[in-house]
Amino acid sequence: RASSPAHPLLAFRLLLLMLSPASPLPPPDHLSFPFALSAAAAVSPSPGTQLHALLVKNGLFPSDHYVATALLQLHAARPDDARRVFDELPRREAIHYDLVIGAYARAGMAAEGLGVFRAMFMDGVAPDAVVLTTAITACAQAGALECGEWVHRYVERSAPELLGDAFVGSALVSMYAKCGCLEQAVRVFDGMPERNDYVWGTMVGAFAVHGRAEEAVSCLDRMAREDGVRPDGVAVLGALSACAHAGKVDDGLRLLREMSRRYGVAPGHEHYACTVDMLCRVDRLEDAVALIETMPMAPLASVWGCGAGGGGRRRARQARRRPRRGRVRAALQHLPRRQPEGRRAEGQEADR
């Protein structure tokens, strides 16, 4: 427990005590150092750099697998540092590639991550489901359709059983959808032998990205009918988002009203926020206010933010002119004036 984020300083004190020649404790080894590295990752990179030097001094890096893995996890937020650690490893395993690819992807450097993925094959290391999922996700972030298709063909040829893996299959569905190939995403989805709630939620999200509201809502009913899976809050939110982007306001309102009865999912703040945004997109500001007032819980900032941001600057001015009731009036008057990026330049030009 000393190495958890709540006790990082205690972890370092124990480590220093273990390093002392006069200490009754055993010296740190390949089992204790990874815990210290985990503690370092929870606070700042500086202690991690010092620990890195200690690892080299004690002969535990780069030879020990557990220490190397923990060090890569320490540098997960700094992909270039992770790559330097990776390049020093005499023997690399699938988890090491996965950590570096993921570090690049999270930093918005998907192309560099895919370069590490390609190097994996040159090194003769076969990717597992975890690495494939990370690589496919990087392809989606980079919009690298050709690379994503290559990974798909590799899975079909070398590890076809992984096409039924929930994470690999969902990553492929998401990648094709984000790269504009919705039909291919549907083919991957339809070809999966087993589909859980995570897979179905990904397909709903794919339809939402393309504004296909009818298909997204239809998935909620198909889940139970075809696979015996009940939609969760994430899947319903994806369908609501699809309705919002497609302008299917009546369908979205119906879904919000019926989601508890039909799917056993009680509307949460995120569902109300999405619906408020949907109403503001089509200038139904009074309906948005009425919806906020009828919420069974006190609305969070995310709901109020959609009320101000969904309609742009002009609607925010209109909102302040119209009469308000109680807390709704006070809250809307203090909301920030946000607007969609696409209209910001237009609004600035009009203000001139």
Helix (H) or strand (E) holding 42: helix 32-43
Picking from 226, 225, 220, the residue whose alpha carbon sits closest to that of residue 194 is 226
- DSSP label of 124: T
Q: Whose structure tokens read 């002969």?
A: 59
Contact between 34 and 70 under an 8 Å Cβ cutoff? The reply is yes
Domain co-membership, 105 together with 162: yes
Domain co-membership, 41 together with 101: no
Domain co-membership, 105 together with 190: yes
Domain co-membership, 186 together with 114: yes
Last residue of a domain, one of 178, 194, 210: 194
Q: Whose structure tokens read 């906020």?
A: 292
Sign of CA dihedral 269, 272, 278, 280: negative
Helix (H) or strand (E) holding 193: none
Average pLDDT of span 170-179: 97
Average pLDDT of span 87-105: 94
pLDDT at residue number 10:
76
112 has a pLDDT exceeding 80: yes
Confidence band of 337 (pLDDT split at 50, 70, 90) = very low
Domain co-membership, 34 together with 67: yes
Sign of CA dihedral 36, 41, 42, 44: positive
Mean pLDDT (the chain, rounded): 83
Structural domain harbouring 35: 1-74
Number of domains forming the structure of the chain: 2
Domain co-membership, 62 together with 98: no
pLDDT at residue number 48:
59
Contact between 333 and 304 under an 8 Å Cβ cutoff? The reply is no
Question: Beta-carbon neighbour count of residue 81 at 10 Å?
Answer: 19
Domain co-membership, 117 together with 182: yes
Q: How far apart are CA 280 and CA 266, in angstroms?
A: 23
332 has a pLDDT exceeding 50: no
272 has a pLDDT exceeding 50: yes
Last residue of a domain, one of 16, 45, 74: 74
Residue 339 lies inside a defined structural domain of this protein: no
Last residue of a domain, one of 139, 172, 194: 194
Picking from 113, 105, 28, the residue whose alpha carbon sits closest to that of residue 67 is 28
Residue 125 lies inside a defined structural domain of this protein: yes
